[in-house]
Amino acid sequence: MPSIAERLDACEDFSDVFKLVKISVERVLGRRRAGLMLYLARLPKQIGAFHTMGTNGIVMNRTMLDMVTHGAHSLREINSYVYSILLHEYLHALGYVEESTVRRLVHDVSLEVFGPDHPATQIALRGPTTLFPEMFTGDAPSGPPDVEVIPDLERNSQKYIS
């Protein structure tokens, strides 16, 4: 059976990546949750995503995702970014509130399933600007302020590369 790293390399949509996030968390932390939804919205560049406690929604920054998909050198880098963002917010959805705890857990889970040199682990350790330094320089691409709903993150095949 392919490793989680090999499976992440083959992901083409949010659902594929999120499935690996859930597998990783259950393997490393022994916790899981179902019924989450994903929303894409244009947010300030300082916010990669957020989860409001007590809800079933994760809101990912479409602006940052667009910058990553256009600036990445490989699908592995894009998938690693999406994995890191979804992992971070999934941990919040599991009830981890403290940001420092969540950041540590994102690194711990990434290190356990990918090893120290994988892009997802590097993002967890140093932040997304490790791979995408342009994220906080210059102007962010503009676009419509609409929120796109990915209604069933756990079964939908919504592609994030267009």
Domains and CATH numbers, the chain: 4-150 (3.30.2010.10)
Q: Tell whether the model's pLDDT for residue 72 goes beyond 80.
A: yes
Q: Which pLDDT band holds residue 140 (cuts at 50, 70, 90)?
A: low
Q: Average pLDDT over the chain, rounded to whole?
A: 88
> Reduced to 3 states, what is the DSSP secondary structure of residue 78?
helix
pLDDT surpassing 80 at residue 48: yes
Tell me the mean pLDDT in the region 71-89.
Answer: 95
For position 135, what pLDDT does the model report?
Answer: 66
* pLDDT at residue number 147: 77
Give residue 141's pLDDT.
54
Residue with tokens 């919040």: 92
Q: Taking 70 as the threshold, does the pLDDT of residue 137 lie above it?
A: no
In the chain, the percentage of residues whose pLDDT exceeds 90 is: 62
pLDDT for 113 beyond 90: yes
Contact 160, 13 (CB under 8 A): yes
Mean per-residue pLDDT, 88-99: 95
- The per-residue pLDDT for 162 is 43
How far apart, in whole angstroms, are the C-alpha atoms of residue 50 and residue 88?
9
Is the model's pLDDT at 132 over the cut of 90?
no
Three-state DSSP state, 57? strand
pLDDT at 156 over 60: no
> How many whole angstroms separate alpha carbon 98 and alpha carbon 160?
29
Asked whether the predicted pLDDT for residue 31 surpasses 60, the reply is yes
Could you list the beta-strand ranges (E) of the chain: 37-41, 49-51, 57-61, 148-150
